[in-house]
Structure 1
Amino acid sequence: MAEINLFLIFLGSIGFDLLIGDPRFFIHPVQIIGFYIKKISDLFIKNCGENKNILFWGGFIIAISTIGISFSLGKLIELSYMQSKNNLFSGFLIFLGLSSCFATKGLISSVKEIAELIERKEINDKNENAIKEKVQRIVSRDVRSSSMEHLMRSSTESLAENSVDGIFGPLFWIFIGIVLMKFSIFLPGPLSLGFSYKAISTLDSMIGYKYDYFRYLGFFSAKIEDYFTFIPSRLVLLTLPLVSSKVNNYLSIIKNSYLDGKKYASPNSGISEAIFAYISGIKLGGKSKYQNEIIEKPIINSNGDFCNREKIKLICQLILRLQFLWIIIFILIFFIIFNPN
């Protein structure tokens, strides 16, 4: 019974994120995680910035402590809920906690807004600066000198990549947690795994870079994120064509997406971007500025069109369709596991 209630809370949290997103009155867990990561990272950089070994092991401490604290907090709330026989307050905390692990409404709304601003007929210096500020909030690259075309591409790449980190990765690990709770309440559950994955994703986005101090400080964070996003990104690769108009070309799209995606240094971001690029018919990759360094990423879907507002709308629709498909699959799996007869 408790597992069914948890599953219903899980479904409700998805709906809450789709309809409401992140309430402004609620302190988002990512803000707390980010504050901790920044403070301890700055401490290591300020005092040990020239010592690669200390930065390397300092990064290990940052990663393990951040994930450990996040996991423990989620586990305590889960145990409180399970041992108190579905306590209403603990259930409400789980509901809010799970909804905070998803970023569907926030991600889609922000990218759509950017696309609409870029495709307005009148763009002056003030509008251009406002657009760049909005793009900079969702990407790690430096967009201060970017053209409108590059800003559109950057936003699209962020949408494709972050759909896994912010939507499908949490969906996968939270569902795994619900299944594990069937066997023991002391195993990782939905909130502990959801918080852990959110911590891993935040670590990677804040310090998981390959330049300056972060090359050493963020090594463990980047590797851990690679491992925990590996399965969700492949599941997106395999299932996204099923909710598109190109399902008849399923095998060729999977093959081309995988071949283009694996050219990226990251084992996951290239795959995520590639499948969305081939399904929506756009070209991604190319030159981008990170700090003071120009990095040229491999071209994905070289025969595709340039990114535009209509293509971004299509990708947003695909994300919502795929999320719905995953929910249907999770419901079927849940009832097979919990009602074998």
Structure 2
Amino acid sequence: MAEINLFYIFIGSIGFDLLIGDPRFIIHPVQIIGFYIKKITNFFIHHFKGNKRILFWGGLFIALSSIGISFEIGKLIELVFLQSKSNLISGILIFFGLSSCLASKSLISSVKEISDLINSSGTDSKTEKLVREKVQRIVSRDVSTSSLEHLMRSSSESLTENSVDGIFGPLFWIFIGLVFMKFSIFLPGPLSLGFSYKTISTLDSMIGYKYDHYKFLGFFSAKIEDYSTFLPSRLVLLTLPLVSFKINQYISIVKKSYFEGSKYDSPNSGISEAIFAYTSNIKLGGKSKYNNQIVEKPVINSHGDICTKEKINLICQLIYRLQLLWILFFTLIFFNI
């Protein structure tokens, strides 16, 4: 019975994330684990920045300790809930904890806000400056000199790439935890796996880079993120066309998306961007500026349209539809195991 209650809490947390997002009155778990990652990362860089070997193995310690702490906190809350037969306080902690692992509201709202500014206010210098500031908050590339068209593309790429890290990746691992709970309460559960995946994603975004000290310090974090996102990204590849208007081109779209997305340095991100690019018929990839260097990513869907407000709205609709499909799919599996 407690496992069933966990599933209902899971469904409720998805709805809460879609409607409310992250409540401002609650400290987000990412802020807590991010503080730990930042402090211990600064320690290694400050004391061992000239020692590649120590940075390399220090990065493994940072990754494992951060993930381990997150997992244990989630597991403890799960055990309290299950062993106390659905304790109210632990149930509330699980509800808000699972919701914090998802980023549907914040991710979609931030990108829609950008597209609305560009389309409603024209191209005056004040608007362009505001748009650049908002885009810079959600991307790692330098957009200080970007055109409006490039800003829209950057926003679309951020939305399509982060839809896996922020929405479908957590959904996948939370559901795996729910299934494990049906066999034993001592196996990894939805909150412990949800917290772990969120921490992995945070590690990658904070230290998983390929330059300076992070090339060694963030090596393991980047690799762990690659492996943990491998299955969710492929599942998005296979299921997104099912909720699009191009289901009759299913095989062709999946093949093209996999082929072109796999050319990226991060195939998970490339495949995610590619399947959204083909289902919404937009062109992604090309030149961007990173750390004062121009980086040219492989072009995806070269004959697609440029990114517009209408295209961003379509991508958001696809994200909502795919979430619904996954929930229905997960529910069917959960109650038939």
- Do Structure 1 and Structure 2 share a fold, with TM-score over 0.5? yes
The residue type paired with residue 316 of structure 1 is C
Look up the match of 1:279: 279
Where does 1:324-335 land on structure 2 (aligned, <5 Å)? 324-335=324-335
Give the length in aligned residue pairs: 337
Secondary structure at 1:137 match in 2:
helix
Query: In structure 2, how many angstroms separate the alpha carbons of the residues matched to 1:266 and 1:153?
Result: 18
For residues 4-50 of structure 1, give each alpha carbon's deviation from its aligned partner in whole angstroms, at most 9, with x where no partner exists.
00000000000000111011111111111211111111221222222
CA distance in 2 between counterparts of 1:51 and 1:113 reads 44
Partner of 1:295 in structure 2?
295
| Matching of residue 167 in structure 1 with residue 167 in structure 2 | yes
Q: Is 1:124 the equivalent of 2:101?
A: no
SS at match of 2:294: strand
Indicate whether 1:195 and 2:198 are aligned.
no
Q: Which moved further from structure 2: 129-138 or 215-224?
A: 129-138
Of 139-148 and 270-279, deviating more is 139-148
8 Å contact from structure 2 (residues 21, 103) kept in 1? yes
Bigger shift: 35-44 or 172-181? 35-44
Distance 1:35 1:313 in 2: 34
The 2-side partners of 1:28 and 1:231 are apart by 26
Distance in structure 2 (CA, Å) of the matches to 1:77 and 1:316: 33
Corresponding residue for 1:219?
219
Q: CA RMSD in A?
A: 1.0
CA contact (8 A) 2:121 2:127 kept: no
Match of 1:57 in 2: 57
Partner of 1:181: 181
3-state SS of 1:298 partner: strand
Q: Is the 8 A contact 2:177 2:188 kept in 1?
A: yes
Describe the superposition over 1:311-334 as per-residue Cα deviations: whole angstroms up to 9, x where unpaired: 000000000000000000011001
1:193-251 C-alpha deviation (Å, 9 max, x unpaired):
00000000011111111111111111100000000000000000000000011000000
Matched, 1:269 2:265: no
C-alpha deviation, 1:123, in angstroms: 3.1
Local SS of the residue matching 2:285: strand
What's the counterpart of residue 30 of structure 1? 30
Aligned residue identity for 2:262 = K
Q: Deviations over 1:266-315 (max 9, x none)?
A: 12000000000000000100111112222111000011111111000000
Give secondary structure in 1 for the equivalent of 2:44.
Answer: helix
Contact 2:37/2:66, CA 8 A, preserved across alignment: yes
Number of the residue aligned with 2:43? 43
Q: How does 1:61-76 map to 2 (within 5 A)?
A: 61-76=61-76
For 2:176 and 2:207, the matched residues in 1 are separated by: 27
Q: Distance in 2 between matches of 1:228 and 1:177?
A: 14
**Paired amino acid for 2:300:** I
Report the secondary structure of 1:34's partner residue: helix
> How far is 1:265 from its partner?
1.0
How far 1:128 moved relative to its partner? 2.0
Shift of 1:127: 2.3
| TM-fit CA distance, 1:138 | 1.1
Q: In the alignment, which residue of structure 2 is the partner of 1:80?
A: 80
Query: For 1:29 and 1:56, how far apart are their aligned partners in 2?
Result: 26
Over residues 132-166 of structure 1, what are the superposed CA-to-partner deviations in whole Å (9 max), with x where a residue is unaligned? 12111111112122221111111100100110000
Q: Where has structure 1 moved over 4 Å in runs of 4 or more?
A: none
In structure 1, the gaps of 5 or more residues are none
Q: Which amino acid aligns with 1:132?
A: R
- Native 8 Å contact 2:283 2:307 kept in 1: yes
State percent identity of aligned pairs: 75
* Distance in 1, Cα, partners of 2:52 & 2:118: 42
1:121: how far off? 4.2
Instruction: Point out where structure 2 has 5 or more consecutive residues left out of the alignment.
Output: none
